[in-house]
């Protein structure tokens, strides 16, 4: 079930995707700033995200609607520019940006972080924004390293079947827990096209299942099921009537 904030985000991007389709555009530029990035990182931290979420927003991402792959690329050219700098530029060039009235509502977590928590944290550390952004940059480079390792190990651990990916139990169990997490995330991304609705707890449920006996299964979001088989694990998009 989507939160009101997430549902609104989906509607906004769906609208942008429809407009882009009408004009033949492949990319949409959005105005997220460095301030938005810091808020996003802090919000995800409060929600208990893993290292992937703490990267924050990326300069270039492909947006996948819940209904399927749209192929629409989202670019964020202002991620390294502060909100104050954007406002100063608008004032200097007589531009009148639109302000969403809901930005002042306490009903939304992001607004409470922006208007209450961030000012409080700045009283402890005036450079808290820089600290959060630096953390995100560090994690991004380290996660890129893990992705390289996953690519190197992929053919040794994973094989493809129709609407399913199969993982060799011995090989998967031999990996460091950090590599297990990254590989399992990549497995889900390959099957779904994105990690929409996939949380840290789902990855950990799969890791916990590595110790379960044959015949057990783990139900995951978006129609995915993780099956424990003899000497291997199967992740499929269409669960059969019973576990194999």
Last residue of a domain, one of 119, 136, 153: 136
**Tens digit of each residue's pLDDT (9 = 90 or more) over 178-195:** 999 999 999 999 998 878
Identify the residue whose tokens are 């600290």: 131
d(CA 201, CA 198): 8
Residue range 140-187, pLDDT digits in tens: 999 999 999 999 999 999 999 888 999 999 999 999 999 999 999 999
Domain harbouring 218, CATH code: 3.30.465.60
Tokens 């916990």 found at: 208
φ, ψ of residue 219 to 5 degrees: the values are: -85, 130
Q: Is residue 54 part of a domain?
A: yes
Domain that holds residue 181: 162-236
Residues 114 and 13 in one domain: yes
| 27-47 as b/e: b if 16+ CB within 10 A | eeebebbbbbbbbbbbbbeee
pTM for the model: 0.78
């Amino acid at each position: 079930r989507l939160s009101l904030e997430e549902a609104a985000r989906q509607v906004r991007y769906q609208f942008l995707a429809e407009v882009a389709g009408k004009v033949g555009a492949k990319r949409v530029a959005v105005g997220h700033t460095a301030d938005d990035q810091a808020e996003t990182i802090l919000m995800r931290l409060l929600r208990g995200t893993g290292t992937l979420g703490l990267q924050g927003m990326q300069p270039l991402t492909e947006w996948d609607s819940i209904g399927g792959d749209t192929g629409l690329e989202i670019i964020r050219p202002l991620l390294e520019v502060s909100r104050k700098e954007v406002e100063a530029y608008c004032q200097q060039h007589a531009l009148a940006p639109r302000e969403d009235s809901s930005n002042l509502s306490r009903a939304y977590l992001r607004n409470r972080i922006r208007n209450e928590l961030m000012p409080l944290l700045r009283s402890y550390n005036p450079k808290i924004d820089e600290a959060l952004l630096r953390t995100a940059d560090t994690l991004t480079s380290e996660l890129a390293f893990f992705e390289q390792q996953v690519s190197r190990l992929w053919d040794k651990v994973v094989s493809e079947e129709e609407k399913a990916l199969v993982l060799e139990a011995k090989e998967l169990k031999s990996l460091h827990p950090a590599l297990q997490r990254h590989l399992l995330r990549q497995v889900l991304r390959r099957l779904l096209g994105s990690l929409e609705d996939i949380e840290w707890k789902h990855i950990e449920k799969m890791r916990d299942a590595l110790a379960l006996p044959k015949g057990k299964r783990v139900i995951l979001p978006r129609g995915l099921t993780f099956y424990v088989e003899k000497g291997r694990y199967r992740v499929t998009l269409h669960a059969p009537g019973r576990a194999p």
